[in-house]
Chain A
Amino acid sequence: MQKPIPGPGTVVGANVRLNGVIKDVNDIAVHGHVEGEVISDKNVLIGETAVVKGPISGQIVTVSGTIRGSVEAHIKLELLPTARLYGGITTKELIIRSGALFNGKSAMTADEKGEEEKDSKSKETDEDQEKTEEKPKELEYEREA
């Protein structure tokens, strides 16, 4: 994407209808109707009067309006009390406030590298335990011989 331009990012005002793909390296705030994609390198705010039909992607996504589509929040997704989300979500951290409506599948992206290291360490520990359990049997055999 282009170099960030200082100042407010993209703002879709109330009573505005937008069709297509909005992309911005800065924040995007939606208060109107959007049919299409909303993609930000930073944060996305879906306001109370907003209706979005289409996928949304950002670092921190805060929702208080209506979304019919998937949401991908790389850091955090927060559904405020007036949020209505119909679609799948992918996020690292999810906050759903009382009153929000969420109807869809959720995929929480954990720290995959850390999980792999944990799994490999637990496997090593199991293997070590098996080896120490085997050794006493061999020694007994030798003594008998």
Chain B
Amino acid sequence: MYYYVVESVSGGVNSREIQRVKLLLGELGILGEFALASPARSVEELAAMGLEKGFTTIVAIGGGRTVNKVASAIQGHAVAFGIIPLAKDSTLHTLTGTNDIKSACEALKFRRLQAQNLLLIEPNKYLLTGASVHFTKAYSIELDMGEFNVGGPTTDIYFTNGVQTRILNRFAGPNVIARTYNWLTGRSVPTFAESIFHTPRVRLVTPANAPVIAENEIIAKTPIVVRVKHNALQLIVAKHKQSLP
């Protein structure tokens, strides 16, 4: 039994996109119950209602915010989680191995499940799509990664559910004098401004409270502790999608 949580779209459940999705799902024989988010009922509440009603498959229709909220509400429960991204070229399509609405609906019909990790920003923010912190200038930050600590001037920090933390300094590189010298002597030293680490737990401390952003929405403020929750849910993916290691 399929339960579809739909983000607020212009036109509501009668919008063209939702109508097209309903048509495709009907043709595939998996047309279930649709629940549209509104000021009265949030996405999280609708997902919780789906769990209470005993649905075995809960599908998020919309963008990354909707997907993260539904994933956060159902993680840890024995249900299958599906996604129908409404935007083209979405990272959500990459996650599910689909490339448009039609293939996303077909994936739901085929129902191939894959264990999926979630990023957890303690205490209770679960994310499928990752999170980031950005500064307009390079600040000296500190990352505690368990067995080692990392520090240095940073402008951007990215967390993904693939146990990966990336930090970047957009302004890294030789200063004007060094650049001039290199240019005069024909010397070029590439600047490696990006760092990549793989640790299951990270504590981020910044000089001042900085916003943590997921899908263009502020979800927390530093300092934060970020962990990966392994196999937090069963994601429905396209049948041809390669399995995760």
What's the tally of chain A residues with a CB closer than 8 Å to chain B?
29
For A48, list chain B residues within 8 Å (CB).
189
Contact between chains at B192 and A13 (CB < 8 Å): yes
Consensus secondary structure, chain B interface: strand
Interface footprint category on B:
20 to 34
Which chain B residues (181-236) contact chain A, with CB distance < 8 Å?
189, 191-198
Contact between chains at A11 and B147 (CB < 8 Å): no
Contact between chains at A49 and B150 (CB < 8 Å): no
Contact between chains at A14 and B151 (CB < 8 Å): no
For A20, list chain B residues within 8 Å (CB).
145, 147-149
A37 to B189, CA, bound (A): 25
For B152, list chain A residues within 8 Å (CB).
13, 15-17, 32
- Minimum Cβ distance to chain B for residue A35 (Å): 9
Contact between chains at B149 and A5 (CB < 8 Å): no
For B195, list chain A residues within 8 Å (CB).
11-13, 16, 32
Q: Select from chain A the residue with minimum beta-carbon distance to B189.
A: A48
Which chain B residues (29-61) contact chain A, with CB distance < 8 Å?
none
Q: Indicate whether A120 reaches chain B with its CB closer than 8 angstroms.
A: no
Kindly specify which of B72-80, B96-104, B163-171 makes contact with the partner chain. B163-171
Q: Select from chain A the residue with minimum beta-carbon distance to B154.
A: A16
Contact between chains at A24 and B198 (CB < 8 Å): yes
A5 to B117, CA, bound (A): 13
For A14, list chain B residues within 8 Å (CB).
172, 191-193
For A49, list chain B residues within 8 Å (CB).
189, 191-192
Contact between chains at B148 and A13 (CB < 8 Å): no
Q: Select from chain A the residue with minimum beta-carbon distance to B166.
A: A11
Q: Indicate whether A36 reaches chain B with its CB closer than 8 angstroms.
A: yes
Which chain B residues (131-152) contact chain A, with CB distance < 8 Å?
145, 147-152
Q: Select from chain B the residue with minimum beta-carbon distance to A25.
A: B198
Contact between chains at B147 and A16 (CB < 8 Å): no
For A114, list chain B residues within 8 Å (CB).
none
Which chain A residues (8-32) contact chain B, with CB distance < 8 Å?
8-24, 29, 31-32
Q: Select from chain B the residue with minimum beta-carbon distance to A14.
A: B192
Q: Quick one: which of B147, B153, B169 contacts A21, CB cutoff 8 A?
A: B147
For B147, list chain A residues within 8 Å (CB).
20-23
Further 10 A-B residue pairs, CB within 8 A, beyond A3-B245, A8-B196, A19-B148:
A4-B245, A5-B198, A7-B164, A10-B196, A14-B172, A14-B191, A16-B150, A17-B151, A19-B149, A20-B147
What are the nearest 7 A-B pairs in CB distance?
Answer: A20-B148, A13-B195, A31-B192, A16-B152, A11-B196, A21-B147, A13-B192
Chain B positions within 8 Å of A, measured between CB atoms, are 145, 147-153, 162-164, 167-169, 172, 189, 191-198, 245
A-B contact pairs, 18 of them (CB 8 A): A5-B245, A7-B164, A9-B196, A10-B196, A11-B194, A12-B195, A15-B172, A16-B195, A17-B151, A18-B150, A19-B149, A21-B148, A22-B147, A22-B148, A24-B198, A32-B152, A48-B189, A49-B191
